[in-house]
């Protein structure tokens, strides 16, 4: 094995690469790859070096061909206990096997009406001519959809602020300042994280208790928790509706062959889903609306497709399958603006990658955003071109050059859910409204837990 460590980009004498990284992490990654190539070391003062991989061959190595040499980082376990995102080994295979069927297309399909209804309810709050920041707006909407489909609990637009704050607070564990501070430092962000998980656990436990009082029935299928909360419209309770995840997990406890999770494990799973599932999908949607607002050729084609395929009707699972251009828009948005810009891992043993030694116990960052914008794989990578996604192009693309949902066995369990949700939201809103971008400049990206726009995505709402 090589004894040579990967190169580190030039930095300051004491703080090394920490200052540049904290100031502008995306800019740092770009500069570091042009200075050092597609594998390098971040030299950080207070914590161990972090290694960055920026080539799909290395993604394949970490996520598939040498997967046992790379584990999840300790941060995930500290944050989400026994949730699917953090566990490993036997415990992970067991959980994934139990949860996977609940995320099959056939199951997810049954959430379509609920997704449409949540979107329609949010649209009732919109006013012609007002400017909305689409980042928080889409986050509110995706949280409402998750609560409805996973918890069976209606979150009403403009209400339940404590639960919205708690969902938001889950990200605090992973703020960039936390990447460069040891885990035992009780930063305000980490304290907010603890309060958030406490509030969400309390809510899950309340719903579980309500559920066990109503044997065999959905605990609270979109029933209000307080008198001022409305239930989801009648049409969502159609026979084809899939029961919410919490109910399914609870009912399975009563069957011998079902997933046998303890109450604490159910809490961990649901908190994990809120963390992994709402801000990611919201980011994908906010960036998609930004592109549709700023590129008139894409907007026209998108609207024409909605008008032809849906003909003014309510989106259904079946008619959504015919929105081919909308599919391409989503695929391209997830390339140019991948919500998860970086996948973290930790070496379990010393490994040699790209001719360099990566020592045991060190953190690795797979830079998805760098590869998604690399001209080796994409012509004019910074241009938004949905039409590049032909079968022929996909067939020729390196398997790991497009991984918005990760890859290998730890690939996103919510992929089908997120893609359906994105299409529902685009189709429901896109039939009624369009947006105007009032600024001259383009957005600037910054990496929080998900990829974000530094200035938000303020768009003016116009009726179509
Ligand atoms: C556009 C939206 C989404 C994106 C871009 C996304 C991205 C990802 C990525 C990159 C991973 C792999 C992480 C890793 O390997 O460390 C992942 C895993 C995961 N995602 Fe998603 N995700 C999205 C939506 C969702 C939704 C809607 C849910 C749940 C309802 C969800 C639940 C999960 C879970 C539980 C895992 C862990 C899977 C495992 O380790 O077995 N995600 N996601």
Confidence category of residue 158, pLDDT binned at 50, 70, 90: confident
Kindly tell me if the per-residue pLDDT of 229 is higher than 70.
Answer: no
Q: What residue's CA is closest to ligand 1, atom 18?
A: 412
CATH among 3.90.110.10, 1.10.10.10, 1.10.630.10, 3.40.50.1820 for 18-463: 1.10.630.10
Confidence (pLDDT) at 12: 58
Query: Which atom of ligand 1 approaches the CA of 146 most closely?
Result: 30
DSSP assignment string, 119-130? HHHHHTT--TT-
Condensed to tens digits (0 to 9), the pLDDT of residues 129-155 reads 999 999 999 999 999 999 999 999 999
| Ligand 1: centre distance to CA 273 (Å) | 8
Closest C-alpha to 52, from 76, 77, 34: 34
Kindly tell me if the per-residue pLDDT of 180 is higher than 90.
Answer: no
Closest C-alpha to 143, from 187, 75, 196: 196
Q: What is the mean pLDDT of residues 14-33?
A: 72
Q: What is the mean pLDDT of residues 158-184?
A: 80
Condensed to tens digits (0 to 9), the pLDDT of residues 388-421 reads 999 999 999 999 999 999 999 999 999 999 999 9
Strand order in the sheet with 70-71: 39-42, 50-53, 363-367, 342-347, 70-71
Query: Which atom of ligand 1 approaches the CA of 76 most closely?
Result: 16
| Ligand 1: centre distance to CA 412 (Å) | 4
114 vs 461: CA distance, rounded Å: 24
Closest C-alpha to 368, from 309, 411, 427: 411
Mean pLDDT across the chain, nearest whole number?
Answer: 88
Kindly tell me if the per-residue pLDDT of 235 is higher than 50.
Answer: no
Pocket test for ligand 1, best of 76, 147, 367, 414 (most atoms within 8 A of CB): 414
Confidence (pLDDT) at 179: 60
Condensed to tens digits (0 to 9), the pLDDT of residues 102-114 reads 999 999 999 999 9
Q: What residue's CA is closest to ligand 1, atom 21?
A: 412
Confidence category of residue 27, pLDDT binned at 50, 70, 90: confident
Condensed to tens digits (0 to 9), the pLDDT of residues 63-75 reads 999 999 999 987 7
Condensed to tens digits (0 to 9), the pLDDT of residues 431-459 reads 999 999 988 889 999 888 899 999 999 99
Confidence (pLDDT) at 16: 62
User: Who wins on pLDDT, 257 or 317?
Assistant: 317
Q: Tell me the residue length of the chain.
A: 464
Which range in 7-21, 80-94, 200-214 is most confidently predicted, on average pLDDT? 80-94
156 vs 455: CA distance, rounded Å: 27
| Ligand 1: centre distance to CA 139 (Å) | 16
| Ligand 1: centre distance to CA 386 (Å) | 23
Confidence (pLDDT) at 32: 86
173 vs 319: CA distance, rounded Å: 40
| Ligand 1: centre distance to CA 404 (Å) | 9
Confidence category of residue 366, pLDDT binned at 50, 70, 90: very high
| Ligand 1: centre distance to CA 244 (Å) | 18
Confidence (pLDDT) at 256: 72
Kindly tell me if the per-residue pLDDT of 181 is higher than 90.
Answer: no
Backbone φ and ψ of 253, nearest 5°: -65, -25
Condensed to tens digits (0 to 9), the pLDDT of residues 279-329 reads 999 999 999 999 999 999 999 999 999 999 999 999 999 999 999 999 999
Q: What residue's CA is closest to ligand 1, atom 9?
A: 405
Confidence category of residue 177, pLDDT binned at 50, 70, 90: low
Pocket test for ligand 1, best of 72, 412, 413, 451 (most atoms within 8 A of CB): 412
157 vs 179: CA distance, rounded Å: 33
Q: What residue's CA is closest to ligand 1, atom 13?
A: 406
Q: What is the mean pLDDT of residues 11-28?
A: 67
Q: What residue's CA is closest to ligand 1, atom 24?
A: 277
Q: To the nearest whole percent, how much of the chain has pLDDT over 70? A: 88
Residues at CB less than 6 angstroms from ligand 1? 84-85, 96, 272-273, 276-277, 280-281, 284, 339-340, 343, 404-406, 410, 412-414, 417-418
| Ligand 1: centre distance to CA 204 (Å) | 20
The residues that bridge with 356 in the sheet, in sequence order, are: 353
85 vs 414: CA distance, rounded Å: 11
Secondary structure E strands in 335-405: 342-347, 351-353, 356-358, 363-367
| Ligand 1: centre distance to CA 19 (Å) | 30
Condensed to tens digits (0 to 9), the pLDDT of residues 263-278 reads 898 999 999 999 999 9
Confidence (pLDDT) at 46: 63
218 vs 186: CA distance, rounded Å: 39
Report the 10 Å Cβ neighbour count for 431: 17
Kindly tell me if the per-residue pLDDT of 115 is higher than 70.
Answer: yes
| Ligand 1: centre distance to CA 277 (Å) | 7
Query: Which atom of ligand 1 approaches the CA of 403 most closely?
Result: 10
User: Who wins on pLDDT, 107 or 234?
Assistant: 107
Structure token digits, residue 348: 């379990």
Confidence (pLDDT) at 18: 62
Q: What is the mean pLDDT of residues 216-237?
A: 40
Domain residue ranges of the chain, discontinuous segments joined by +: 18-463
Query: Which atom of ligand 1 approaches the CA of 269 most closely?
Result: 35
Confidence (pLDDT) at 323: 98
């Amino acid at each position: 094995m090589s004894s040579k460590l990967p190169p580190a980009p030039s930095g300051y004498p004491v703080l090394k690469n920490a200052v540049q990284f904290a100031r502008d992490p995306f800019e740092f990654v770009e500069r570091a790859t042009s200075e050092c190539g597609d594998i390098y070391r971040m030299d950080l003062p207070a914590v161990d070096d972090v290694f960055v991989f920026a080539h799909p061959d290395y993604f394949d190595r970490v996520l598939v061909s040498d997967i046992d040499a790379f584990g999840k980082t300790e941060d995930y376990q500290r944050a989400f206990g026994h949730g699917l995102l953090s566990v490993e080994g036997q415990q992970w295979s067991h959980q994934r096997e139990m949860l996977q069927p609940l995320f099959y297309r056939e199951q997810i399909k049954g959430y379509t009406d609920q997704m449409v209804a949540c979107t329609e309810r949010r649209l009732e709050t919109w006013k012609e001519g007002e400017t909305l920041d689409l980042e928080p707006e889409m986050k509110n909407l995706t949280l409402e959809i998750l609560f409805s489909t996973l918890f069976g609990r209606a979150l009403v637009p403009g209400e339940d602020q404590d639960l919205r704050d708690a969902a938001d607070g889950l990200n605090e564990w992973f703020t960039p300042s936390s990447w460069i501070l040891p885990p035992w430092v009780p930063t305000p962000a980490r304290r907010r994280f603890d309060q958030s998980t406490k509030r969400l656990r309390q809510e899950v436990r309340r719903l579980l208790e309500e559920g066990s009082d109503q044997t065999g029935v959905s605990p609270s299928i979109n029933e209000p928790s307080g008198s001022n909360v409305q239930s989801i419209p009648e049409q969502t309770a159609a026979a084809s509706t899939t029961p919410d995840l919490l109910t399914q997990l609870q009912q399975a406890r009563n069957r011998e062959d079902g997933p046998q999770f303890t109450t604490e494990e159910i809490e961990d799973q649901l908190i994990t889903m809120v963390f992994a599932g709402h801000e990611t999908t919201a980011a994908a949607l906010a960036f998609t609306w930004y592109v549709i607002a700023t590129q008139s050729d894409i907007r026209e084609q998108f609207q024409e497709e909605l008008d032809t395929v849906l003909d003014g009707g309510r989106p259904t699972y079946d008619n959504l399958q015919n929105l081919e251009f909308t599919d391409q828009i989503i695929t391209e948005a997830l390339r140019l603006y991948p919500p998860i810009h970086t996948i973290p891992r930790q070496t379990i043993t010393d490994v040699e990658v790209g001719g360099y030694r990566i020592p045991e116990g060190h953190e690795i960052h797979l830079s998805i955003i760098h590869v998604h914008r690399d001209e080796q794989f994409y012509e004019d990578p910074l241009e938004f071109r949905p039409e590049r996604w032909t079968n022929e192009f996909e067939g020729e693309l390196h398997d790991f050059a497009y991984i918005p949902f990760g890859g290998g066995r730890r690939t996103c369990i919510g992929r089908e859910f997120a893609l359906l949700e994105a299409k529902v939201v685009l189709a429901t809103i896109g039939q009624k409204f369009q947006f105007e971008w009032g600024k001259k400049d383009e957005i600037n990206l910054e990496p929080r837990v998900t990829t974000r726009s530094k200035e938000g995505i303020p768009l003016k709402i116009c009726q179509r």
